[in-house]
A and B are shown apart, each in its own frame.
Chain A
């Protein structure tokens, strides 16, 4: 059964870099059919897309976060990772990793997330 699991520090100091990893089990992240993404949700608030990555390493980021975000993939470990630099309290959120629907009809932009990790709370505080 395919599962995604986020891991990383639950507490990050202001101005430092938030680093999270998503481990995919039950299937290969190298499948050509999917994008993999990060989404966050601030406490009591809505959802914000951070970015997506393909197994080739091709990435797309939310323009509002692009200057601070790096998403990478390690196919040998079946993982993809998120780095968010220069964090502030506004970056406190539950961070989810997720998988998109598969490519269809020649398009790999079916960017709706059908499989999610359980999420991990990251608090930015000194």
Chain B
């Protein structure tokens, strides 16, 4: 099983600051990585898929990069609504198998 490790566990920032979140895979996942945002009491929301493609309706301040085992989600300038927990997710090519990272909480400093 591919294990995804996210860091840091918590990121304390102020609105307007840049957020950089990391996701590291235990083995190469190519570009098959997504990022989700989850707010309390809500389902996750897809932000980025295939490492760098923004999902429909996602603001341009969210961007993803990386390939292989190291991936980054960047929020260029934090808006108040961006304070949430962020998860990465990978998918194996074959057999199809999905795993999620443990999450990074972005909190208001």
Residue positions of A touching B, CB distance < 8 A? 46-49, 52, 60, 62-64, 96, 98, 101, 109-114, 116-119
Give B contacts to A, CB under 8 Å: 1, 34, 36, 42-46, 49-50, 55-56, 87, 89, 91, 93, 95-103
> Could you write out 30 A-B pairs with CB less than 8 Å apart?
A46-B87, A46-B103, A47-B36, A47-B44, A49-B98, A52-B96, A60-B96, A60-B97, A62-B97, A64-B1, A96-B43, A96-B44, A98-B43, A101-B46, A109-B93, A109-B96, A110-B49, A111-B98, A112-B34, A112-B49, A112-B50, A112-B89, A112-B91, A113-B36, A114-B46, A114-B56, A116-B43, A116-B44, A116-B45, A118-B43
Chain A residues, CB < 8 A from B103: 46
Q: Count of A-B contacts with CB under 8 A?
A: 56
Chain A interface, DSSP helix/strand/loop, else mixed: loop
Chain A's closest residue to B98 (CB) is A49
CB of B1 within 8 A of CB of A63, answer: yes
Most A CB within 10 A of own CB, among B49, B98, B103:
B98
Chain A residue at minimal CB-CB distance from B100? A47
Q: Give min CB distance, A67 to chain B, whole Å.
A: 16
Which residues of chain B have C-beta atoms less than 8 A from A63's C-beta?
A: 1, 97
Min CB gap B92→A, angstroms: 9
Closest-CB distance, A11 to chain B (whole angstroms): 20
A84 to chain B, nearest CB (A): 17
B99 contacts across to A, CB distance below 8 A: 49
